[in-house]
Amino acid sequence: MNLYLVRHGETAWTVSGQHTGRTDIPLTPHGEQEARALGDALATVAFTGAFTSPRQRATRTCELVGLNALAAIEPDLAEWDYGDYEGQRSDAIRAQRPDWSLFRDGCPNGESPESVSARADRVVALIRPLQGNVAVFSHGHFGRVLAARWIGLHVSAARHFVLSTASLGILRYESASPNDSSIVLWNAVPVSTAARGLHLGLHGGPVADTKAIARWDNEGGETLSRKPTNRTGVSHAHPAQ
């Protein structure tokens, strides 16, 4: 089976870089555009099922992609509960705790890494017995943990996975080889929505040159700078200095 992991589209707090866990805010108009473009890119994929976080930014992304008729709400797909850090930016948190790491320390009065890892494991157990192409609509930090746990890595490894808004990852599970779970695509967005920076061309072909940036890490956060497009139509981004 193939798990199509989708992070929701842009919100006001992904732009401002604020941690967005329980806060239930809508997509921006650009976020809705991102989701529609992803739906266009996935239009030829035959899905056998879909699951979505209960937060409206995820359910709306699912609807705009065109899979709401298939989707079931799965509470375990909700974003990390940031507790006292809800609504804060990473730089503000680190001004008080310079060595703070979400994937190691969790959040005061919120979720621990172990709790989020356990939720991800329950999602894996829910999805792995299924057949065909299954879509999951979730969030930046939880999606990173889900990918790490899918391939058997410790939750701390999720810090190495980056997810842009309205991005797609494909996780694969071979039922005949249960130890061979894999990530076959990661953090890709359709070329038509690449105006915000980090992207992979799902359809190939040239990617439009843009000076824009992608935001990542929390529900917004640090920025990525663009590198020139290469001949394959794939544009790579690296952390801004």
Count of CB atoms situated within 10 Å of the CB of 205? 9
> What burial class does residue 12 get, using C-beta atoms within 10 Å of its C-beta: 0-12 exposed, 13-18 middle, 19+ buried?
middle
Strand runs labelled E in the chain: 2-7, 47-52, 71-73, 133-138, 168-172, 182-188, 214-215, 223-226, 237-239
Residue 174 known to be catalytic: no
Strands 223-226 and 2-7, by their bridges, are unpaired
Query: What is the per-residue burial (b if ≥16 Cβ within 10 Å, else e) of 104-131?
Result: eebbeebbbbeebbebbbebbebbbeee
**Hey, what are 5's tokens?**
């992991």
The catalytic residue among 10, 34, 63, 79 is 79
Residue 154 known to be catalytic: no
Q: Which residues are catalytic?
A: 8, 79
